[in-house]
Structure 1
Amino acid sequence: MLSSFAVLTAILLLLTLLPLSRIKHWLVRGLDFPRLQLAVLSGLLLVMQLAMLDVTQGASQVLILLNLGCLAVQAWWIWPYTRLHRTEVPLTKAASANRQTVSIITANVLMTNRNAPALIELVQQHKPDVLVTLESDLWWQQQLDTLSIDYPHSIKCPLDNLYGMHVYSRLPLHNGAVQFLVEPDVPSIHAEVELSRGLRVVMHFVHPAPPSPTENESSSERDAELLVLAVSVAQCKQPLIVTGDLNDVAWSETTRLFRKVSGLVDPRIGRGMFNSFHAAYPFVRWPLDHLFHSRHFSLQQIKRLPNIGSDHFPLLITLSLEEETTGEQTVTLEPDDMQLVKSDLAEQAVLPEQVHRPERSAGAPVA
């Protein structure tokens, strides 16, 4: 029995330690995702060890301590996304007719999914200011164009490679651009959204390709796209939002580095994980769909919406614009962080100057 527990502990130890390395291969980076599940497994194994092993034996004590260490490491990564952690973004204190808000639904629709009415119904129910869809091809565009009466402003990039992207807005869009920053077939969309009293919010919509056996062998492309955007948006002084399917979990080193460099805050911290993938498997879920924003906002609501037939749940977030900056980051930029960023960007030969800055552009509203 001791040997069986030793093997199980060794496996959990390996799965815990490998992601701490800077190896970018998909097999290693994929272990960033199931930290909650690995923490649960470590907890169950710990209970079994305490119940079934002779805890007076040195070997048993070593196994228990190793398993406790695994549990502690996994818990350290995920605990900011529990209610035990302090929040980064304050709640909106009180509703006001003069308060400007912006609401967004982010939905990875799954390109082969044909349940467009489910998403359209959610949009009609919640009436967000902005709808961004990911994996949306020409068929999805044709279905979503039925919203054009209520959402007359749009930026469309239909693709049949799982990386199509569409933005539909009730509010005017300005200085919009579709870019292919790192990979020639993976777009991002950048624009300003004009609120009711003329104030503009800068928005960046992203969906980098993941490290996986069917996509990219390493996370280099994904990491570079996130980090080049982080460096670019850090220079923006206007209210700003970044949202989309990052193909990375909220607690990963890359996403933490994105937050450190960009200076953006995460409304989920201290409130929950809001796991958006995989919609079909309750025990294998993690937060892949994200929204980060500048400290110009407070949080009115964040909600995971019902399944629309995709492998992702849509997310609905409503932010309130505040007169003074709010919130406080819970991560700190370390001296070596920018060197890591420079290395990742150099590997993919991409520069922050290449990212479209809609707040610096002058042009007519987007149709």
Structure 2
Amino acid sequence: MSVFRIVLIALAGLIVVATALSLVRTDAWWVRMFDFPRMQLTVAAIVVVALYVGSNLWLGDPSWWEWGLFAALAVAVGVQGTQMVPYTSIYPEQTVRANPADAAPDRRLRLVVSNVLMENRDRDRWLEVVREADPDIIAAVETDAWWVETSRELADAYPHAVEVPQDDTYGMLLRSKLPLDRTEVRHLVEDTVPSLLLTVRLRSGEPVTVILLHPRPPRPDIQQDATLRDAELVLAGREAAEEKGPIVVAGDLNDVAWSHTTRLFQRLSGLLDPRIGRGTFSTFHAEHWWLRYPLDHVFHSDHFALVELRRLDPVGSDHFPMLIELELDPSVVPLQEAPETEADDVEEGADMVDEAEEMKAEETPEERREREEEDQ
């Protein structure tokens, strides 16, 4: 057997195993890491299959187990594709497009979500991109005191603000042109990981609830599991479901759009994903076109129609900012099919929260301090 064929067989085996692991329900980092590179694995699988089929035209007949392996690889392509198809234009759009003929500018909410990368100091580029987007609300995460001071240059146009500077990459801030009736800084899972709960008053006078999240991620480089992130998404989903009025949940969720956890969040919250039927809108990593994932999200209740959704220009961060504009329009509620909670979702969510509580209870203060220092 040639070296070339051995390499192809090894790659095929790795892709099949990675695909199988991505279907396992666990919070272990070495399994959950395979939630992310579905596009990359799909492309790699197609290339390997093509090379293998082509090579067999002149390398001789493959054995039965080789055909079995590559049949499994074809199944892996189907599994990966099934997960990603909703984030393509061939899938029905989950959020309806706002009707320009019935435009109501005073009922619109224009939002920019930006993970600035705490050590990024390209303030001019970030300010330029934000000003050009001209949102009603700027929601930023990974903001330290320097970024809070930078954002204050926008204070004339955005007089309403909530600032939570932290030097551990979990700071956040929000600046708004629109009045804020309620501003709460909460810590859903950890004392060091904040989230924001706000009520924004549209120009029409109607209130909209906004939740900003940036949960702690699973990290293969420090062997950090997804336990805490999963729990925060479940808790935020429950909270969103309790809101009866219009609501938007946004932020860097440190999870991909197609993961089981993100879909569980959607079903628990009943919120819509405007990317479904439109594209992935991958925001991370801004400097590596071949290794990008949709980590920055905006979900909304079915009270809204979509006016605009796009990824903005780079700002020196490892994330691209996202821009969304929504229009409050009760007439679209019956036109949109909100995700519904399935039979086991509530129990699964409760288990995730319990696991996070158990993890924190078993940690010593020193272990917690070491974990948080590593994750900076």
| TM-score, scaled to structure 2 | 0.89
Structure 1: how far apart are the matches of 2:198 and 2:223? 28
Tell me, yes or no, if the aligned pair for 1:189 and 1:206 is still in contact at 8 Å.
Answer: yes
Alignment partner of 1:64 is 2:70: yes
Structure 2: how far apart are the matches of 1:329 and 1:97? 22
2:201 to 181, 189, 194: 194
Alignment partner of 1:242 is 2:249: yes
Structure 1: how far apart are the matches of 2:108 and 2:288? 34
Deviations 1:10-67 (A, max 9, x none): 1111111112112212121111001000000011011112211256753343132111
Give the residue type in structure 2 aligned to 1:253.
Answer: H
2:23 to 15, 20, 24: 20
Give the residue type in structure 2 aligned to 1:166.
Answer: L
Aligned to 1:281: 288
Aligned to 1:328: 336
Structure 1: how far apart are the matches of 2:53 and 2:337? 39
Quote how far apart the aligned CAs of 1:348 are: 2.5
Aligned to 2:365: none
Q: How many residues align?
A: 350
Bigger share in helix? 2
Deviations 1:172-224 (A, max 9, x none): 01111111111111110010000012100000000001011466721010000
Tell me, yes or no, if the aligned pair for 1:298 and 1:326 is still in contact at 8 Å.
Answer: no
Tell me, yes or no, if the aligned pair for 1:297 and 1:326 is still in contact at 8 Å.
Answer: no
Residue correspondence of structure 1 range 70-109 to structure 2 within 5 A: 70-96=76-102, 98-99=104-105, 100-109=107-116
Tell me, yes or no, if the aligned pair for 2:104 and 2:327 is still in contact at 8 Å.
Answer: no
2:39 to 33, 36, 58: 36
1:318 to 320, 325, 333: 325
Tell me, yes or no, if the aligned pair for 1:5 and 1:63 is still in contact at 8 Å.
Answer: no
Alignment partner of 1:339 is 2:342: no
Aligned to 2:302: 295
Tell me, yes or no, if the aligned pair for 2:30 and 2:223 is still in contact at 8 Å.
Answer: no
Change (3 A) 1:282 1:339: same
Structure 2: how far apart are the matches of 1:147 and 1:241? 23
Change (3 A) 1:303 1:55: farther
Tell me the C-alpha RMSD between the 2 structures.
Answer: 1.7
Structure 1: how far apart are the matches of 2:271 and 2:247? 8
Tell me, yes or no, if the aligned pair for 2:186 and 2:195 is still in contact at 8 Å.
Answer: yes
Change (3 A) 1:208 1:95: farther
Tell me, yes or no, if the aligned pair for 2:270 and 2:339 is still in contact at 8 Å.
Answer: no
Aligned to 2:362: none
Structure 1: how far apart are the matches of 2:128 and 2:334? 33
Secondary structure in structure 2 of the residue aligned to 1:244: strand
Instruction: Specify every segment of 5 or more residues in structure 1 that has no aligned partner in the other structure, as ranges.
Output: 351-367
Structure 2: how far apart are the matches of 1:216 and 1:239? 38
Structure 2: how far apart are the matches of 1:301 and 1:216? 38
Change (3 A) 1:347 1:290: same
Tell me, yes or no, if the aligned pair for 1:152 and 1:168 is still in contact at 8 Å.
Answer: yes
Aligned to 2:130: 123
Quote how far apart the aligned CAs of 1:8 are: 1.8
Quote how far apart the aligned CAs of 1:266 are: 0.2
Aligned to 2:145: 138
Deviations 1:63-102 (A, max 9, x none): 3211101111111111111111111001111154634110
Give the residue type in structure 2 aligned to 1:110.
Answer: L
Aligned to 2:374: none
Secondary structure in structure 1 of the residue aligned to 2:197: strand
Aligned to 2:217: 210
Change (3 A) 1:63 1:123: same
2:174 to 163, 167, 175: 167
What fraction of aligned residue pairs are identical, expressed as a percent? Answer: 37
Tell me, yes or no, if the aligned pair for 2:16 and 2:76 is still in contact at 8 Å.
Answer: yes
